[in-house]
Chain A
Amino acid sequence: GAVVSQHPSWVICKSGTSVKIECRSLDFQATTMFWYRQFPKQSLMLMATSNEGSKATYEQGVEKDKFLINHASLTLSTLTVTSAHPEDSSFYICSAHSPSAGGNQETQYFGPGTRLLVL
C-alpha cells in the first residue's frame, strides 16, 4: 500500500521549453502532495506543498511562476517547469501524505523521482 508513481522517470528537453511531471498516489487519496528537488550528492530540498483544490505554498526562493503546481484531484499533482534552462536540471521527487494511507499522520510516501536534463 501507499504507492506513489511519477511520470516520466526521465526527460531531456531543449532550453526554453516547458516540461510537465506527474505525481500520482495509486492506492490512496493524498490530501497533500510535496515537491522536492535534489541535486547530485545533496539532500532533498522542499520546493512547494500542494493541497487538493487550493493553491500551492512555495518555499522561499522558489519561483511560483517558473514551477507551476496543480493538484487537481486527490490522486494527481503536476509540476510544470516553464521555460526550462540548464540550471533547472535536477532530480525532482514528489511525495504524498494522507492519514488514510496508513502509518503515522505525518508520514510522507515518495515517488521514484524524475530526472530532468535541460540542454
Chain B
Amino acid sequence: GESVGLHLPTLSVQEGDNSIINCAYSNSASDYFIWYKQESGKGPQFIIDIRSNMDKRQGQRVTVLLNKTVKHLSLQIAATQPGDSAVYFCAENSGYSTLTFGKGTMLLVSP
C-alpha cells in the first residue's frame, strides 16, 4: 500500500448521469480484481469482480472493464443515484488470497 495524502480524488456527477471510476493497478501478475463501495463509517461492500481472462463483466447497473496491457481497471455505473455516493476502491489479488487496495475515489452524486 502506498496511499499518501489526505485528499481522495473526487468525481462529481448529476443524478441520472453515467459514472466512470478509474483505477491503475501495479502488479502484472494479479489475476483477480474487485471493486468495493465504502460508505462513510462502514466497511467495504463488494460490488463486482473480474478475472484476468476477461476484459468486461456486467452486473446490475455496473460494468467493470479490464485492460491488462496498461494495467487499468474501470467501474462504470449507469444512471447514477444519490445512494451511489461513496468511496470506491479497486482491489487486486496477486495470490495467497490477499488483496491490495487502490487509493480510492469519492463519488458525489447531486440530486
Contacts and interface: CB of A to CB of B under 8 A. Distances in A.
Interface of A: 4, 6, 32, 34, 40-46, 49, 91, 93, 95, 97, 103-113, 115
A34 B99 CA distance: 10
A13 B52 CA distance: 44
B102 A110 contact: no
Interface of B: 1, 3, 5-8, 32, 34, 36, 41-46, 49, 51, 89, 93, 97-104
Contacts of A44: 1, 44, 89, 101
Q: DSSP class of B's interface residues: helix, strand, loop or mixed?
A: loop
A32 B42 contact: no
Nearest to B1: A45
B99 A46 contact: yes
B44 to A, nearest CB: 5
A95 B91 CA distance: 13
Contacts of B102: 43
Contacts of B98: 34, 46, 49
B60 to A, nearest CB: 16
A43 B7 CA distance: 11
B6 to A, nearest CB: 5
14 contacts: A41-B7, A43-B89, A103-B46, A103-B49, A104-B32, A105-B97, A108-B97, A110-B36, A110-B44, A110-B45, A110-B46, A111-B43, A113-B41, A115-B41
